[in-house]
A and B are shown apart, each in its own frame.
Chain A
Amino acid sequence: MIAIEALIKIVVLVVIILTIVAYLVLLERKISAYMQDRIGPNRVGPKGLFQPLADVLKLVLKEMIVPAKANKFIHALAPVISITVAVGALAVIPFANYIVIGGQKISLLIANVNIGVLYILALSSLGVYGITLSGWASNNKYSLLGGLRSSAQMISYELSLGLSLVGVLMIDGTLQLDKITMAQSGGLWNIIYQPIGFLVFVTAAFAETNRLPFDLPEAEPELVGGYHTEYSGMRWGLFFLSEYTNMIVSSALMVTLYFGGWSLPFVNYSALGANLAALVQFVTFFAKLGILIFVFMWVRWTLPRFRYDQLMNVGWKIMLPLAILNLLGTGAVMLALK
Chain B
Amino acid sequence: MNLELIVFLILAAAAVVSAILVITRKNPVTSALYLVLNFFIIAVLYLFLRAQFIAVIQITVYAGAIMVLFLFVIMLLNLGDDRLMKWKFNSTRTIASLMGLALLAEILFYVINFTTGAGLSPQAESIGTVESIGKALYAGYLFPFEITSVLLLAAIVGAIFLSKKQISDGPMEKGNE
* Pick from B72, B75, B130: contact of A115, CB under 8 Å: B130
Best-surrounded residue of B53, B59, B64, B76 (most CB of chain A within 10 A):
B64
Task: List A contacts of B130 (CB < 8 A).
Answer: 114-115, 118, 175
Interface of B is mostly: helix
Q: CB-CB contacts of A160-186 with B at 8 A, as 1s and 0s? A: 000000000000000100000000000
**Residue A113, interface by CB 8 Å:** yes
**Residue A125, interface by CB 8 Å:** yes
Tell me the count of chain A residues lying within 8 A, CB to CB, of chain B: 22
B75 to chain A, nearest CB (A): 5
When the two chains form their complex, are residues A122 and B36 in contact, meaning their CB atoms are under 8 A apart?
Answer: no
A74 and B37 CA atoms in complex are apart in Å by 14
When the two chains form their complex, are residues B52 and A122 in contact, meaning their CB atoms are under 8 A apart?
Answer: no
Task: List B contacts of A71 (CB < 8 A).
Answer: 29
Chain A residues 115-152 with CB under 8 Å of chain B are 115, 118-119, 121-122, 125-126, 128-129, 132-133, 136, 144, 148, 151
Q: Which residue of B lies closest to A128 (CB)?
A: B68
When the two chains form their complex, are residues A114 and B129 in contact, meaning their CB atoms are under 8 A apart?
Answer: yes
When the two chains form their complex, are residues A114 and B33 in contact, meaning their CB atoms are under 8 A apart?
Answer: no
Task: List B contacts of A118 (CB < 8 A).
Answer: 53, 56-57, 60, 130
* Pick from B33, B60, B71: contact of A122, CB under 8 Å: B60
A132 and B69 CA atoms in complex are apart in Å by 11
**Residue B154, interface by CB 8 Å:** no
Q: CB-CB contacts of A54-91 with B at 8 A, as 1s and 0s? A: 00000000000000000100100000000000000000
A77 to chain B, nearest CB (A): 8
When the two chains form their complex, are residues B65 and A125 in contact, meaning their CB atoms are under 8 A apart?
Answer: yes
Residues of chain A at the chain B interface (Cβ within 8 Å) = 71, 74, 113-115, 118-119, 121-122, 125-126, 128-129, 132-133, 136, 144, 148, 151, 155, 158, 175
- Give 11 CB contacts A-B under 8 Å: A115-B56, A115-B130, A118-B60, A118-B130, A125-B59, A125-B68, A126-B63, A129-B68, A132-B75, A151-B68, A155-B65
